[in-house]
Structure 1
Amino acid sequence: MFKVKDIVIYTTEGLCKITEICSQDFNGHSTDYYVLKPMLSNRPTIFVPVDNEQLVERIRPVLSADEVHKLIKAMPDQETIWIENSNDRKKRYKEILSDSDHLELVSLIKTLYFYQEELQDSGKKLHLADKMFMEEAEKILYEEFAYVLDIEPSQLIPLIVGVIEADE
């Protein structure tokens, strides 16, 4: 059970603050809701029914600083997950974004980053859908990392590179 003032991640919406837990009446039936306010965007407030397990599962607490550092150290060992068929790739990448599993997000970013590098070497660009998947995965992961580590998002990539290079 989450509490008011908890900072959480809500799937693709990213970092949110639970501003209240309220009851709303609809057709004589009262339902309790978590009220989530996205912290880093002007997106609208999100109402998640407390008794809807499927939607509540999409809310999770932010990682600890130790967990973030462990994930950063694990980045070089993450496998890439390129899928040749574009329809299958879109379906799988949407699932990864929806699930917000950290290791899968790292794999997704790594895969698309390396593929983008290959394409650039031959004078081509990443397909728009793949670029959007990469940007969304980076947003989800990097917002949380920057918040947890109490740094500016612009400082995150140099920090990740420094941690990875120190481990080599």
Structure 2
Amino acid sequence: MYNIGEYIVSGNSGVGQIVDIVDSTKIGGTDKKKLYYIVQPLNDGKGLNYVLVNSKRIPVRKVISKDEAETLVKEIPGIEKLALGSQRSNEAKYKEILRSDDFYQWIQLIKGLNLKNEERVSDGKKVGSLDERYMKMAKTKLYSELAVALEIETDEVEDYIRSVNNITD
């Protein structure tokens, strides 16, 4: 069980901070044995998420450590891009990757979409809206967790990755 104030990663909700832990009677349920984390999402200051403690259906884990984040960032240049086909055939694959807790798959997806988008633009085509949406979702998941672990702002993560790996445009 996690504590109030800790950052966790929960299913599709992404990174959030636990602001309270309550039994279900406090949120309209009847079972005092069921506990819920009340989580303030990192990237959405508007609402709260209710996450069942010890849920088997929606996994919850602690945000990676600073050391793990620093190691992951250094490994990024060596991670292969995901081979992509047409947008239609890729959507199920995109969803599966984003549901996983696998940072390497998130990075592979981002790299694959970056390459695909660059090729489309160089061919005079627009970036596909589906690819653009999933790129944003993958970056949000990866960057928000790295931001918490590295104790920097989410919008600083991409520059941090570039500087650690000496990447220039």
- In the alignment, the residues of structure 1 paired with residue 70 and residue 55 of structure 2 have an alpha-carbon distance, to the nearest angstrom, of 33
Aligned to 1:70: 71
SS at match of 1:19: strand
Q: 3-state SS of the aligned residue for 1:40?
A: coil
Q: Which runs of 4+ in 1 moved over 4 A?
A: none
Mapping of 1:123-138 within 5 angstroms? 123-138=124-139
- 1:92 counterpart residue number: 93
Evaluate the alpha carbon distance shift between residue 4 and residue 93 of structure 1 in structure 2; reply closer, same or farther with a 3 A threshold.
same
Closer/same/farther in 2, CA of residues 70 and 120 from structure 1, 3 Å limit:
same
SS of residue in 2 equivalent to 1:126: coil
Kept in 2, the 8 Å contact 1:12–1:100? The answer is: no
The percentage of aligned residue pairs carrying the same residue is 27
TM-score, with length taken from structure 1:
0.86
Shift of 1:127: 0.9
* Aligned match of 1:116: 117
Matches of 1:114 and 1:100 in 2, distance apart?
23
- Relative distance call for 1:27 and 1:140 in structure 2 (3 A) is closer
Instruction: Name the CA distance, whole Å, in 1 between partners of 2:87 and 2:101.
Output: 21
| SS of structure 2 residue aligned to 1:54 | coil
Unaligned segments of structure 2, at least 5 residues: none
Distance change in 2, residues 1:27/1:75 (3 Å):
closer
Residues 17-36 of structure 1, C-alpha deviation per residue, up to 9 Å, x if partnerless? 11122112367433221211
| 1:11 to partner: Cα distance | 3.1
Distance 1:69 1:28 in 2: 44
1:27 & 1:71 partners in 2: Cα distance? Answer: 41
Q: 1:52 to 1:42 in 2, by over 3 A?
A: same
The number of residue pairs the alignment matches comes to: 164
1:4 equivalent in structure 2: 4
Opposite residue 31 of structure 2, the aligned amino acid is H
Distance 1:8 1:145 in 2: 12
Measure how far apart 1:156 and its partner are. 2.1
Using the size of structure 2 for normalisation, the TM-score is 0.86
SS for the counterpart of 1:29 is coil
Q: 1:11–1:97: 8 Å Cα contact kept in structure 2?
A: no
Hey, what does 1:146 align to over in structure 2?
A: 147
Q: Give the partner amino acid of 1:20.
A: D
Aligned Cα root-mean-square deviation (Å): 2.0
List runs of 5+ in structure 1 lacking aligned partners: none
